[in-house]
């Protein structure tokens, strides 16, 4: 969306038209809506803006639920925005630390500011891109008494009157539509500037979950750094660095696992030591991505009375079916051949027509493998492809 489209949209007629259209899901629906609006005599810029927003509102339902129907977006802003439920959890940490006023630097479309304002905090929301800042102002209008939106670069903002900072550096190229991920040297604000600020002011910094651990700031006794990885409904979505009073005492590594409305967390003073490799038992456990990223697999293994399947493989095995929110657990039926033709024959003999394929430590394309197996039958199962030592194994299992 460019400024002309936004100007056309932010009128009573444009917003009324957007509400009338509602969320648009498919490409066919887009074409039909465009044709209908153009036939009704609406200007091309307004049609483009309305249909673009209608499509984004549909996509945004995953992150913002029913709130998406009253928000505006850019494609890049939606891609980087926090899920509202996660933003609310982040906001709770600021509140619990006694913070009253937060600067949201790089606020994007305003998702995190919504979480902060929603629990009664005052927010200074700062966005460097003019169009995105205008959209943030629209989304945050219900909290106008508590939120100030400013079009500015994060580095230019006076922070003397805020208690803490939330930073979500732009990790994609500039623009509102097709963008690409950039290296940390190109982030806005720059990563080193963000780390320097976080060493002086209580700060939360949102990063990608695959951020290079070797670049994590170590902090000091007086200004600690807590690294928290977050998995939501099976997808590991982000890493947040918490500094100063926002970092919890004695916690340097954390894995937050959110499933539906429930959240559980593992915390530790540092990376945990892996349990030794043990013979394959009756059960196999796949740790949540946040647990793996936080390197808390060893602590999870001890909780499950489990051991490692193999060195360097993030699977655990045990003889007990102890369930945990921090891992998916599978009951192993049997080992099958790894040769494709023999594996296909074994699955046909067992009538397996629906197969979940999981892999770690082996170079396999699950989609291509599924095609080659030519599955048919009424039974369902999980196929786990991994290695034990130097040997490749194929384990037929049931998800518990």
pLDDT digits (tens, 9 = 90+) for 178-232: 555 556 667 888 999 999 999 999 999 999 999 999 999 987 767 789 999 999 9
Beta carbons within 8 Å of 160's beta carbon, 6+ residues apart:
none
Average pLDDT, the chain: 92
Interval 38-61: pLDDT, tens: 898 888 888 988 999 999 999 999
Superfamily of domain 78-268: Vaccinia Virus protein VP39 (3.40.50.150)
- For the segment 227-244, the average pLDDT, to the nearest whole number, is 96
Q: How confident is the model over 300-347, as pLDDT tens digits? A: 999 999 999 999 999 999 999 889 999 999 999 999 999 999 999 999
Instruction: Report the candidate in 269, 271, 221, 219 with the shortest Cα–Cα distance to residue 243.
Output: 219
The angle, 0 to 180 degrees and rounded to 10, between the axes of the packed helices 111-118 and 84-96 is: 50
pLDDT at residue 218 in the model: 83
**CA-based end-to-end distance of the chain:** 46
Q: What is the mean pLDDT of residues 267-271?
A: 96
Sequence-distant (6+) residues with CB within 8 A of 348 are 375, 376, 377
Mean pLDDT within 117-126: 97
Q: Whole-model pTM? A: 0.90
H helix or E strand, kind and range, residue 75: helix 75-80
Residue 64: alpha-carbon gap to chain centroid = 13
Domain residue spans of the chain: 3-62, 78-268, 283-399
- For residues 255 and 265, what is the distance between their CA atoms, to the nearest angstrom? 6
- pLDDT for 179 equals 53
Is the pLDDT reported for residue 22 higher than 90? no
Q: Are 182 and 188 in contact (CB under 8 A)?
A: no
| Average of per-residue pLDDT across 126-153 | 96
For residue 202, give every residue at least 6 positions away whose Cβ sits within 8 Å of its Cβ, in sequence order, or none: 97, 99, 163, 164, 165, 243, 244, 245, 246
b (16+ CB within 10 A) / e for 105-124: bbbbbbbbbbbbbeeebbbb
Q: Which of 297, 286, 296, 192 is nearest to 253 (CA)?
A: 296
């Amino acid at each position: 969306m460019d400024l002309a489209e936004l100007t056309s949209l932010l009128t009573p007629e444009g917003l009324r038209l957007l509400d009338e259209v509602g969320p648009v899901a498919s490409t066919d629906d887009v074409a039909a809506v465009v044709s209908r609006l153009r036939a009704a005599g609406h200007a091309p810029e307004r049609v483009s803006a309305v249909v673009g927003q209608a499509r984004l509102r549909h996509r945004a339902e995953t992150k913002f639920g029913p709130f998406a129907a009253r928000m505006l977006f850019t494609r890049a802003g939606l891609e980087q925005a926090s899920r509202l439920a996660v933003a609310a959890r982040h906001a709770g940490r600021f509140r619990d630390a006694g913070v009253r006023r937060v600067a949201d630097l790089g606020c994007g479309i305003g998702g995190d500011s919504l979480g902060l304002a929603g629990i009664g905090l005052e927010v200074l929301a700062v966005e460097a891109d003019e169009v995105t800042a205008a959209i943030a102002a629209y989304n945050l209008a219900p909290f106008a008494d508590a939120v100030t939106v400013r079009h500015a670069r994060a580095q230019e903002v006076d922070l003397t009157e805020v208690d803490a900072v939330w930073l979500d550096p732009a990790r994609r190229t500039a623009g509102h539509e097709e963008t690409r991920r950039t290296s940390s040297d190109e982030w806005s604000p720059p990563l080193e500037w963000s780390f320097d600020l976080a060493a002086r002011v209580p700060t939360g910094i949102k990063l990608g979950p695959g951020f290079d651990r070797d670049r994590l700031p170590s902090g000091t006794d007086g200004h600690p750094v807590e690294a928290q990885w977050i998995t939501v409904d099976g997808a590991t979505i982000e890493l947040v660095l918490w500094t100063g009073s926002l970092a919890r005492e004695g916690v340097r590594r954390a894995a937050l696992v959110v499933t539906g409305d429930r959240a559980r967390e593992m915390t530790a003073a540092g990376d945990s030591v892996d349990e030794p490799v043990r013979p394959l038992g009756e059960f196999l456990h796949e740790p949540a991505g946040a647990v793996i990223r936080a390197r808390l697999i060893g602590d999870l293994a001890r909780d499950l009375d489990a051991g490692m399947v193999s060195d360097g493989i993030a699977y655990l095995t045990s003889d007990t079916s102890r369930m945990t929110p921090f891992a998916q657990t599978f009951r192993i039926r049997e080992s099958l051949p790894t040769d494709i033709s023999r594996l296909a024959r074994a699955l046909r003999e067992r009538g397996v027509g629906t197969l979940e394929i999981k892999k770690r430590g082996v170079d396999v394309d699950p989609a291509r493998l599924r095609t080659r197996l030519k599955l048919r039958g009424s039974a369902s199962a999980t196929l786990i492809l991994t290695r034990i030592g130097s040997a490749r194994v194929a384990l037929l299992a049931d998800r518990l």
